[in-house]
């Protein structure tokens, strides 16, 4: 474990979204599918709010998996998914070139399925010296055991496991940062469960005298 690694900053990071497609989500049983989709939308909104480059890849979209989930595409309307055949997007020339073009050495991954299309490129990126974070609550596996084993393998190889909320808070870090405050706050309100309810309450109901 690298205890000297700095906190994430937006200028260092790129987001990689892998196969967030309904046909693959049908097979997910590691956790609630709607929660995974909500968390994936949240990390996509976080990337947009903090101006991260985003690389999106899909597979078998015409024959099985379907297109990128429309809720994610709506957040990133100008980002077109790169279709590929490989399970490992790192072995696809177009996707790898898009990642290299970001010139970011810290990659944040989210996607389906954890056991293959997430873990394979994460392991490949680590082997090439990238600093890699995996948004575990925005990934889904075929089974809970398979999902956890895949996360454990990536972590053992050097990836850092995180959540979408931790990424957002790590980027924001100070609620007096006005340039990103409204975007960050709205993401937490929409996707942050009880914490989001609390933020909404604080604005709507508490009026300092």
Domain-embedded: residue 4: no
* Average of per-residue pLDDT across 159-185: 96
Decide: 116 and 24 in contact? Cβ < 8 Å: no
Per-residue pLDDT reduced to its tens digit, 4-59 = 568 999 999 999 999 999 999 999 999 999 999 999 999 999 999 999 999 999 99
The one catalytic residue among 13, 117, 154, 165: 117
User: The CATH number of the domain where 66 resides is what?
Assistant: 3.40.50.850
**Domain hosting residue 157, numbered range:** 11-171
Number of domains in the chain: 1
- 164 lies in a domain? yes
Q: What percent of the chain has pLDDT over 90?
A: 89
Look up 139 and say whether it is catalytic.
no
Residue 209 has pLDDT above 70, yes or no: no
Looking at the domain assignment, is residue 208 inside a domain?
no
Per-residue pLDDT of 93-124, as tens digits, reads 999 999 999 999 999 999 999 999 999 999 99
Residue 193: exposure state from Cβ atoms within 10 A (0-12, 13-18, ≥19) = exposed
């Amino acid at each position: 474990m690298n205890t000297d690694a700095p906190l994430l900053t937006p200028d260092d990071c790129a987001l990689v979204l892998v196969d967030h497609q309904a046909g693959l989500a049908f097979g997910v049983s590691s956790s609630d599918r709607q929660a995974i989709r909500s968390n994936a939308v949240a990390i996509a909104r976080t990337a947009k709010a903090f101006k991260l480059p985003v690389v999106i890849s899909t597979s078998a979209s015409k024959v099985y998996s379907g297109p990128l989930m429309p809720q994610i595409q709506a957040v990133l309307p100008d980002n077109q998914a790169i279709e590929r055949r490989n399970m490992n997007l790192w072995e696809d020339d177009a996707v790898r070139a898009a990642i290299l073009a970001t010139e970011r050495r810290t990659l944040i991954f989210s996607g389906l399925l954890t056991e293959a299309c997430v873990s394979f490129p994460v392991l490949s990126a680590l082997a090439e010296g990238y600093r890699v974070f995996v948004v575990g609550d925005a990934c889904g596996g075929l089974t809970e055991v398979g999902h956890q084993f895949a996360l454990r393998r990536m972590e053992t190889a050097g990836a850092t496991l995180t959540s979408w909320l931790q990424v957002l808070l790590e980027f924001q870090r100070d609620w007096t940062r006005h340039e990103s405050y409204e975007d960050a706050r709205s993401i937490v309100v929409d996707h942050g469960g009880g914490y989001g309810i609390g933020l909404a309450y604080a604005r709507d109901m508490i009026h300092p005298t």
